[in-house]
A and B are shown apart, each in its own frame.
Chain A
């Protein structure tokens, strides 16, 4: 049973526009959520996180929104840049557990 789901395997946007990556989770005990970016043949790089006590966290061009009632979070990138092209993973954890549960990832392509 997949507890973290990224239903869109890929997304293509034009440079300068907004990229919206979505993630759903099933475990209501999750209380901390993270987004990672991954280039081929490299380890994931941490982007941004959000605690369940918040519904929005912003860092530069990246904003994460959390809707607890819908068990849904999204990552907004605006404006999108070609260098943002990568696979984006969302991850969740609960109760201070060190173990992260990852989604399958969404491959974002930003076209010049």
Chain B
């Protein structure tokens, strides 16, 4: 099946710094990618839809200035957590769907962010 690669898998950063997470579709082109956040024992919360060549669409309650998304090519989307705080510590996951109707979404491996 299609492969989505996410990097890094784990990152620890200091409060106030920024962290960039990359999501790549390895064997297909993705005009749209999705960024999720998972809190402990909770579902995947969609944060934003990343659109190649245009602005991301953020879900209600997600700060777009806090979570910067860039989708500069058909195979790469990045999520930058700016001025990170301990409450931003979470598991972040990206996904992309193979173009076409009724196709499955493939997920990256996820990134465990810990802000200290």
Q: A98-B97, A105-B43 are in contact. Are A41 and B102 (CB under 8 A)?
A: no
Residue-by-residue, is B77-116 near A (CB-CB < 8 Å gives 1, otherwise 0)? Answer: 0000000000000010101010001101111111010000
Nearest 7 CB-CB pairings of A with B: A43-B107, A104-B43, A46-B104, A96-B101, A43-B110, A44-B107, A32-B102
Binding site for A on B (CB under 8 A): 1, 4, 6, 32, 34, 41-44, 46, 49, 91, 93, 95, 97, 101-102, 104-110, 112
Bound complex: CA of A41 vs CA of B6, how far in Å?
A: 13
Within 8 A of B (CB), among A83-104: 89, 91, 96, 98-100, 102-104
Contact B32 A98 (CB under 8 A): yes
With a CB–CB cut-off of 8 A, which chain B residues contact A36? 107
Contact B109 A43 (CB under 8 A): yes
Bound complex: CA of A43 vs CA of B23, how far in Å?
A: 12
Closest Cβ neighbor of A51 among chain B residues: B102
Contact A49 B43 (CB under 8 A): no
Q: A96-B101, A104-B42 are in contact. Are A46 and B1 (CB under 8 A)?
A: yes
Contact B112 A49 (CB under 8 A): no
Bound complex: CA of A45 vs CA of B46, how far in Å?
A: 17
Can you offer 6 A-B residue contacts whose CB atoms are under 8 A? A9-B41, A41-B110, A51-B102, A98-B49, A99-B49, A105-B43
Q: Does A34 sit within 8 A of B, measured CB to CB? A: yes
With a CB–CB cut-off of 8 A, which chain A residues contact B107? 36, 43-45
Q: A42-B110, A43-B93 are in contact. Are A34 and B104 (CB under 8 A)?
A: yes
Within 8 A of B (CB), among A35-89: 36, 41-46, 49, 51, 89
With a CB–CB cut-off of 8 A, which chain A residues contact B91? 41
User: Chain A's nearest CB lies how many Å from the CB of B103?
Assistant: 9
Contact B102 A49 (CB under 8 A): yes
With a CB–CB cut-off of 8 A, which chain A residues contact B43? 89, 102-105
With a CB–CB cut-off of 8 A, which chain A residues contact B95? 43-44, 100
Closest Cβ neighbor of B94 among chain A residues: A43
With a CB–CB cut-off of 8 A, which chain B residues contact A51? 102
